[in-house]
Amino acid sequence: MRAQQQVPVAADRPIRRLSIARASMMTPKASPKLAKYMEPVREEGQKKKKTRSMFSWLGGDSSKKKNKEVLETVSEGLRKIYKQKLLPLEEFHKFHDFHSPALDDPDFDAKPMILLVGQYSTGKTTFIRYLLESDFPGIRIGPEPTTDRFIAVMHGDEEGSIPGNALVVDAKKQFRALSGFGNAFLNRFQCSTLPNQVLESVTIVDTPGILSGEKQRIDRGYDFTGVLEWFAERVDRIILLFDAHKLDISDEFKRCIEALAGNEDKIRIVLNKSDMVDHQQLMRVYGALMWSLGKVFKTPEVSRVYLGSFWDHPLHYDLNRRLFQDEQHDLFQDLQALPRNAALRKLNDLIKRARLAKVHAYIIAELRKQMPSMIGKDKKKKDLIQNLDKIYEQLQREHNISPGDFPDVNKMREKLQTQDFSKFNPLKPKLLEVVDGMLATDIARLMAQIPKEEAAAPAGSNGSADPTVRGGAFSQTTEAETPFGFGRGEGFDKGADEAEWVVSRERTTADSTFESLGPVNGYLSGRAAKEHMVKSKLPNSVLGKVWKLADIDKDGQLDADEFALANYLINLKLEGHEIPSELPKHLIPPSKRGEQDPVYPSLNDNDE
């Protein structure tokens, strides 16, 4: 009995020890290898908490740091969403090997850039000198190809030049990616700095004159059109200059214009030296230029062509002086608005880049998908490259993509020749979802942030918060103080600096018409005045504005002075001038000024 009773007791202990051993074996211990992978997970969780509050303005999440986040700029937001959401997709599908290098921090913070492109001796360098009203280091002007390099004209405390090899290693400049074009290009690239008020707001890039004839057969030694394409993606405005005497578009010029494809919204066309031909020839030259551009751009619509002569020499044919003045004013207004629209341009370029990156991902994934795993890779690769246009059509149908979003098929074929398709990554839906979310949500929030940022901008030196280009040829303050300012002494400004009421010079006919309409007690009724005013054939909406301005005392009828004023305003409108929203003080009839402050001070006023 004792032996039988001891057996279970003896057997119990090993079983208990075995259970403890098994339990200890089953307890999850963090091995060094496992701990290595678990630690980043913990850190990632902590980072997410910080990121959620740091970038809550991108995701709509409230945070205690709200006051701090409001101070972040649109450029800062673009940089963050690019690096966090778009860059991973680009790197995963080798976007930078095919299209454009990755964006650096200076690309988001750089001043607006203006790129000048044109054949030699069309006045590109002279145009820059005209804008700056000063020379810059490295300037060379002549009838032959004198600018043999790309020159970035930037603001600096002192005049100087920075060679290309030194420029591309400067982390504060936006030109680092240009190092990929090699020494042959970098030896033809420089930055010229000088203290100039215009350059405080913009950077201007001068380019070598595009060759024609036998000269274009000479190889430059670097990818000239590739450099132009790189600049075109990053600048805010592209100015194509033409000479009124040289409208032929050479083969190299045609390739350069084709390299600008996709950036048509940035292009402005200038027909320079327009004063060298008379009015009749200018119309013929303008028509011929529009016809040539339509063939090169391959679109029925062509950007506006600005006519002018952008230098400080006397005009050869003075007949078109007013036309050139108006054209220059419109072009300068467009250029002056670049700083104000810089954030919007960067936003637009990022959207275009994101759309291209998505399409590129679909193309690369499809090529990887159709590659065999073992045999016949080279033959299949050739077939895929040859039938790339059919793959484009297939992807358009499968993913409902617009044909305009696809890259140029010939350029893509050329790039694919040196690639190993088997090393392409398959499609990763998560990366595409992140980019779609960026386009749908983050971009919209940044769009809403732009007007707030403009409203919160500190006032400039002129007291205005409007960030426009000033100085040089853009300076309007000096011109406004002289009779040569834009619009001075013309249209509704005519007679502003004279003591005599300007309407009285031309009222002889108006007075006789007034009497013939049968005024009652010196006043014309609205009906009688209308019957006369509609003879001008102006729309009723315009005549209504004229009536409101001419009826000074708002009694619904016109006396002789008011009728003369109405006729004067109608004639100005018929000459092409716009009706002002308020009547200028110098146009108010002397009989209606009454107790108001006189327009001009009287020399006989005696203080009492």
pLDDT tens string 500-530 = 888 888 788 888 889 888 889 989 998 998 9
Q: Is 206 within 8 Å of 116 (Cβ atoms)?
A: yes
pLDDT tens, 75-98? 899 999 999 999 999 999 999 999
Q: Of 170, 134, 172, which Cα lies nearest the Cα of 153?
A: 134
What does the radius of gyration of the chain's CA atoms come to, in whole angstroms? 35
Give the residue extent of every domain in the chain.
75-101+347-455, 105-336, 489-593
Tell whether the model's pLDDT for residue 35 goes beyond 60: no
Residue 13, pLDDT score: 47
Identify which of 553, 555, 554, 548 has the alpha carbon closest to the alpha carbon of residue 592: 553
Q: Where are the beta strands (DSSP E) in 60-187?
A: 113-118, 150-155, 160-163
User: Is the model's pLDDT at 50 over the cut of 90?
Assistant: no
- Positive or negative torsion for Cα 474, 475, 480, 484: negative
CATH architecture classification, 75-101+347-455 = Orthogonal Bundle (1.10)
C-alpha span between 75 and 347 (Å, rounded): 9
% of the chain surpassing 70 pLDDT: 79
For residue 199, give the nearest of 140, 137, 149, 142 by alpha carbon: 137
Please report, for residues 95, 600, 606, the alpha-carbon distance to residue 603 in angstroms, rounded to integers and kept in the order given.
76, 9, 9
pTM over 0.75: no
Q: What is the pLDDT of residue 159?
A: 92
H/E run at residue 23: helix 2-26
User: Are 225 and 255 spatial neighbours (Cβ–Cβ below 8 Å)?
Assistant: yes
Task: Dump strand ranges (E) for 435-490.
Answer: none
| pLDDT surpassing 90 at residue 198 | yes
Query: Which range, of 17-21, 353-357, 396-400, 541-545, averages the lowest pLDDT?
Result: 17-21
CA 45, 49, 51, 57: dihedral to nearest 10 degrees? 150
**Share of residues in the chain with pLDDT > 90 (%):** 37
Has domain 105-336 been given CATH number 3.30.360.10?
no
Q: In 85-123, which positions are buried (b, 16+ CB within 10 angstroms) versus exposed (e)? A: bbbebbebbbbeebbbbebbeebbebbbbbbbbbbbbbb
Give yes or no for residue 601 having a pLDDT over 80: no
pLDDT at 361: 96
Secondary structure string (H, E, C) spanning 66-79: HHHHHCCCHHHHHH
Query: Rounded CA gap, 83 and 89, in Å?
Result: 10
Residue type, 456: A
**Which residues, including other chains, have CB under 8 Å from residue 454's CB and lie 6 or more apart?**
340, 465, 467
Strands ordered across the beta sheet of 113-118? 160-163, 189-194, 150-155, 203-206, 113-118, 237-243, 267-272, 305-307
* 498: helix, strand or coil: coil
Question: pLDDT at residue 289 above 90?
Answer: no
Q: What's CA 60's distance to the chain center, in Å?
A: 28
| Residue-level pLDDT at 164 | 93
- Please report the pLDDT score of residue 145 as a whole number: 55
**Who has greater pLDDT, 18 or 319?**
319
Per-residue model confidence as pLDDT tens digits over 529-586: 898 999 999 999 899 999 999 999 889 999 999 999 999 999 888 988 888 888 888 8
Q: Which residues pair with 420 in a beta bridge?
A: none
Q: Kindly state the DSSP code that residue 523 receives in the 8-state scheme.
A: B
How far is 250 from 228, CA to CA, in rounded Å?
16
Helix (H) or strand (E) holding 7: helix 2-26
Q: Is the dihedral of CA 24, 28, 34, 35 positive or negative?
A: negative
Whether the pLDDT of residue 375 is over 70: the answer is yes
Contact 268, 239 (CB under 8 A): yes
Indicate if the pLDDT at residue 300 is higher than 50: yes
How many other C-beta atoms lie within 10 A of the C-beta of residue 489?
13
Tell me what pLDDT residue 230 has: 92
CB of 138 within 8 A of CB of 151? yes
- Give the pLDDT band of residue 348 (cuts 50, 70, 90): very high
Q: Which CATH class is domain 489-593?
A: mainly alpha
Residue 58 has pLDDT above 50, yes or no: no
Mean pLDDT value across residues 124-139: 88
Q: What is the pLDDT of residue 47?
A: 45
Asked if 315 and 321 touch (Cβ cutoff 8 Å), the reply is yes
- DSSP per residue, 340-365: HHHHHHHHHHHHHHHHHHHHHHHHHH
Domains 105-336 and 489-593 belong to one CATH topology: no
Of 607 and 252, the one with more pLDDT: 252
For residue 287 the two structure tokens come to 């028509």
Average the pLDDT over 117-136 and give the result: 88
Confidence of residue 147 (pLDDT cuts 50, 70, 90): low
Per-residue tokens: 64: 């205690």
**The pLDDT of residue 295:** 79
Q: Looking at the predicted structure, is the pLDDT value of residue 117 above 60?
A: yes
- The residue type of 379 is K
Phi (first) and psi of residue 605, to 5 degrees: -65, 130
Burial per residue of 368-379, b for 16 or more beta-carbon CB atoms within 10 angstroms, e otherwise: beebeeeeeeee
Residue-wise pLDDT tens digits, 449-485: 888 877 766 554 444 445 788 888 887 644 556 666 6
Instruction: Decide if 276 contacts 317 (C-beta within 8 A).
Output: yes
CA separation, residue 141 to residues 148, 207, 311 (Å) = 11, 13, 12
Task: Check if the beta carbon of residue 331 is closer than 8 Å to that of residue 268.
Answer: yes
> What is the band of 218 on the pLDDT scale with cuts at 50, 70, 90?
low
